[in-house]
Amino acid sequence: MKISIVVTLKKEVLDPQGKVIQQTLQNMGEKAVFNVRQGKYFELDLNENNYEKAKIMAEEICKKLLANLVIEDYKIMDNS
Amino acid sequence: MSISKEVVEKHGLTQIEFQKICELLKRAPNLLELGVFSAMWNEHCSYKSSKIHLKNLPTKGKVVVQGPGENAGVIDVGDNQAIVFKVESHNHPSFIEPYQGAATGVGGIMRDVFTMGARPIANLNSIHFGSPDHSKTKNLLNGVVQGIGGYGNCVGIPTVGGETHFDESYNGNILVNAMTVGLANKDKIFYSKASGIGKSVIYVGSKTGRDGIHGASMASAKFDNKAEEKKPTVQVGDPFTEKLLLEACLELMQDDSIISIQDMGAAGLTSSSVEMAAKGKLGIELNLEKVPCRELNMTPYEMMLSESQERMLIILNSGKESKAKKLFEKWNLDFAIIGKTTNTKNLTLKFNNKKVGEIPIDLLSNKAPLYNRKWSKTKLPKKNSKSKNLNKIKILDSLKRIISHPNICSKEWVWKQYDHTVMGDTIQKPGSDSGVVRIHKTNKGIASTIDTSADYCSAHPLTGGKQVVCESWRNLISVGAKPLAITNCLNFGNPEKQKNMGEFVECVNGIAEASKYLDYPVVSGNVSFYNETNEKSIKPTPAIGGVGLIKNIDKMITMNFKKKNSDIYVIGRTNGHLDQSIFAREILGEKKGPPPEINLFNEKNNGTTLLELIDKNLILSAHDISSGGLLIAIAEMCIKGKIGALIKKPKTLINPIEYFFSEDQSRYIVEINNDNVENITNILNKNSVFFEKIGNTQENNLFIQDELDLSIDEIEKLNNSWFRKYIN
Amino acid sequence: MLSSVIVFPGSNCDRDMAVALEKFGFKNSMVWHNDTELPKTDLIVLPGGFSYGDYLRCGCIGSKSKIIEKVIEFANKGGLVLGICNGFQILVEAGLLPGTLLRNKYLRFICKDVYLKIKNNSNTFYSKFKKDIIKLHIAHNEGNYFVKNDELKKLQDKNQIAFEYCDINGEVSESSNPNGSINNIAGVFNDNQNVLGMMPHPERMIDKYLSGNDGSLFFNNIKHKLSI
């Protein structure tokens, strides 16, 4: 089954890229945008059909590799 | 709210220190004030364990414009040009988050330099990792190298030199020391001393977040297995903002707007505001609600202790505010007037018009405790008796093993990831004895190098301290530069332990003795204590950053052999000292014994004589003999020049192994034209410098009769493959 | 001859480029990215660096600068536009050049000397390079040029490939490719051959003290071409 994961910088950690993208959007006239956070998106294809089990595996994988827990959070997307 | 014992401890203060604060204040501090004290009184800002010993370092000299005590040291290089430089450690943050730790280390040291009105023109770094087979080393190496590159490359400052070492003593505590060299007009240096009352205090740069709160205390805390839990305090660097800040500050410095300027480094807003006020003998009042914040609901405590990067504090001349604001807005940087200078001599903190803290500046900057900690002397170890029969060891095998050893091999894998040619003035690249950048649009060159000798310092700190200074001096001489001054980054273990404190004291004394003798003063520096994990300390590792001047870059020397059939000479005497050499460690498996002796007279005499020969255009190439010994130095010259050499065995009674692999000091290899032999030997003899001819350059192979016949390609492969194999 | 160097926030080879242009006889102006008018100019250069920190995608945010509209106008009228390194990335993002620049194959920043084979020796920028192979310096993290096959064919057919990475003998091969670029491409022209983007930095090789002098050939050639 497919598991989708989004990794972003922790809320309290500076996101230089997000900041510049937000400023650029402002300059381009998108005045409503007051904050941007940038992240990474992963899709894992797993040999596992049970979503709950797959989620636990994904969780481990995030901790082990995908997210740098010093500065990043991960979110496993709901299966839809 | 009363302050509990635990709270005091969490701030890295002892109960006695807390008592002292209460006595000085004549009351108990509130939490905000305690935070401010802890930031100013910790080792990183107060130098409380090191100060009394640092006084031994020579800090004055003909070329010194500004010695230690400012953001960076300043030296005069003639023509109203000044070189501003400093080295700093970012060890603990880099162990926790290698990429960001190293990146912000580079960012911090560059700010120290451009704060003083200098445009950075060269970066260097000295990085030490644990044993290559330790589980963490590979990731740390990758992260640190990419972090240094990621930051320096983006800002656009060439990284022209450095060193990378591996040793198991850094398994749990790596070292990341970053050095920046900048160029300023000598009559336009900016200092941190505030002056005038009622002047605006300006905050510029990035917004303040909750990054690195108590980073300065962390930098002075030892690690244990829970180190990783301290992670949230690591700051994220934004090199793009740094670049904007650099340009904006240098632009504002064109006229007389700025009275004083200070980078918000360790301990952020606290140390910058206190230092400016202390130097000017003034007070300072901050309205903290005006501090630009990245996050909601930040408290005065968090604002004062945040270590968010890429921020500066400026005291402006009256009436310059709107012009400055416009300039920073052009560069898309935050600009806020957050306070003013006062005549109270207090640090006054207000939040929404309410006074939330007030401390006399003097208590923070001058009344920090000073410790004369107990220390123990290291005896000079006895010379190792020759336990093994050297005659059984093959020169060929030893050369092959040492030239490919991770601490000797080519570091090209590392420095190819650093932009070393941006700014268009790099005239000697990394991998040389010193990196050299031309002073823009002139014929002058600035050579710089950063060196450490942890094995020597560990065996005998006093000799080791002397040796690092001499090594630095030699690296500058080898490129034809006159050594001018040094900066130091003193990486040691726990000063509360007598052994570690002793290592510090004796290394400092060694550095002092050598730099005094060589007229090579210390103009800036940084102390990093508590480099230990689970009570195991690193080897004492003072890093010396040296800067020298080449008055005419046409006379610059490089180490690559230039042509066939030149004579190869050794300057300086080879006595065969193997103890503490790479050979002893790697081939004999022997770690005991004293480091090679330093004779400062010979050091100075050999060095200045070589400079004289270089000045008279008598030298084709030169390279100092350091780790690995004579044969390694020659092999390196062969590799760089793609030219071989025919080397003769020593005529004296000395064993060839000792001759080729000993690490006796004050020696250089030089390549000379045979037409010049007489002229050169006359000068060497006149100055009573010991020298001997050891061979000739030739095509293709490095050759020693009956011992060695290796093609340069093969040696290069041995020298150049370790990192790639290790990483893949 | 007049040149203009566009300065973006985060450009860091702007000065180096200005120095080079002036050395070879151009009267150069620095143009701020936020300006809305170009000065009178014969050549526009987008310099190397990290415009906007290379955040989002390298060159992307720089390509949204106000001055870029004017640069596009200038190029469409046949004016000479040169993009070096980050400047190349911006030209690609601005749609003035085909293809895109991906991260280096080995995912590392790479700074070294490279040899380049000159593929097109008669164009608006330069002609009659005295050498077929020149040595220049590269310093980038995203220099891995990519175009789809049909576009690649178009580039080849229309002689739009300016330089290919090669070895000292001119051999174009996998081992002389530093970053994974398709067909070892180091620089490309637009259709009309008046816009050139290249990863190598000619401005870092303009005197004998630097590691080479072939950048001088490059600038002298542009100058020569402009003066006829």
What is the predicted pLDDT for the residue at B386?
64
CA A15 to CA B411: how far, in whole Å? Answer: 32
CATH number at residue C203: 3.40.50.880
Query: Which B positions 580-639 lie with beta carbon below 8 A of chain A?
Result: none
**Does residue B661 contact residue B398 with C-beta atoms inside 8 Å?**
yes
* φ/ψ bin of B308: left (φ > 0), alpha (ψ from -120 to 50), beta (otherwise): beta
Confidence of residue C112 (pLDDT cuts 50, 70, 90): very high
- How many other β-carbons are positioned within 10 Å of the β-carbon of residue B256? 9
pTM of the model: 0.94
- Are B548 and B520 a contacting pair, CB within 8 Å? no
C52·B238 Cβ contact <8 A = no
Q: What is the least distance, in Å, from the CA of A27 to any CA of chain B?
A: 11
Cβ-Cβ contacts under 8 Å for B672 (sequence gap 6 or more): B566, B567, B569, B618, B619, B620, B680
Q: Which domain holds residue C104?
A: 2-227
> Which of the other chains make 3 or more beta carbon contacts under 8 angstroms with chain C?
A, B
The answer on pLDDT for A64 being more than 60 is yes
Q: Which fold has domain A2-78?
A: Mth169; Chain: A , (3.30.1280)
Using a CB–CB cutoff of 8 Å, tell me whether A27 touches chain C.
yes
Domain total of chain C: 1
Strands B200-205 and B334-342: antiparallel
Over pLDDT 90: what percentage of chain A?
Answer: 44
Cβ–Cβ gap B232/A14 under 8 Å: no
Q: Do A70 and B231 touch (CB under 8 A)?
A: yes
Contact B432, B348 (CB under 8 A): no
**Contact status of B332 with chain A (Cβ, < 8 Å):** yes
* pLDDT of C227 over the 60 cut: yes
**What element of type H or E holds B711?**
strand B708-711
Confidence category of residue C61, pLDDT binned at 50, 70, 90: very high
Task: Give the separation between CA B368 and CA B361, rounded to whole angstroms.
Answer: 11
Q: Which residues in B lie closer than 8 A to residue A20 (C-beta atoms)?
A: 240
Residue B242: φ, ψ to 5°: -60, -45
Of A20, A28, A38, the CB nearest to C52: A20
CA distance B96 to B91: 9
Confirm whether the ipTM is greater than 0.90: yes
3-state secondary structure of B372: coil
pLDDT of residue B224: 55
Question: How many C-beta neighbours within 10 Å does residue B322 have?
Answer: 8
Backbone angles phi, psi at B342, to 5 degrees: -135, 175
Chain C hits for A36, Cβ within 8 Å = none
Residue A70 pLDDT more than 70? yes
Residues in chain C closer than 8 A to B239 (CB atoms): 50, 53
**Number of Cβ atoms within 10 Å of the Cβ of B302:** 20
- For residue A28, give the nearest of C53, C56, C64 by CB distance: C64
Domain boundaries, chain A: 2-78
> Chains touching chain B at 3 or more Cβ pairs under 8 angstroms?
A, C
Output the pLDDT for position B225.
53
Confidence at residue C53, expressed as pLDDT on a 0 to 100 scale: 94
Amino acid at B665: Q
Please tell me the distance from the alpha carbon of residue B373 to that of residue B47, in angstroms, as a whole number. Answer: 12
Closest Cβ–Cβ partner in C9, C109, C203 for B424: C203
Look at residues B426, B156, B416, B120 and name the one whose alpha carbon lies nearest to residue C14. B156
Query: Per the CB < 8 Å rule, is B96 touching A20?
Result: no
- Give pLDDT, residue B157: 98
pLDDT at C154 over 50: yes
Selected for mutation to probe chain B from C111, C136, C179, C213 (highest B CB count within 10 Å) is C111
Percent of chain C residues past pLDDT 90, beyond the cut = 88
- pLDDT, residue B226, reads 53
Q: What are the average pLDDT values for consecutive 10-residue runs of chain B, which has 728 residues? A: 83 93 96 94 90 96 96 97 97 93 96 97 98 96 97 98 97 97 97 95 94 60 51 77 97 95 91 95 97 92 93 96 95 96 97 97 94 96 77 93 97 98 97 97 97 98 98 98 98 97 98 98 96 94 98 98 98 95 94 96 98 98 97 98 96 86 97 96 97 95 95 97 93
Min Cα separation C154/chain B (Å): 34
- Pairwise CA distance, residues B606 & B599, whole Å: 11
Quick one: CA dihedral C164, C167, C172, C174, positive or negative? negative
Rounded distance between C-alpha atoms, residue B522 and residue B526, angstroms: 11
Among B645, B657, B659, B664, which Cα is nearest to B704's? B645
- Note whether B146 and B152 are within 8 A (CB): no
Q: Which amino acid belongs to residue B2?
A: S
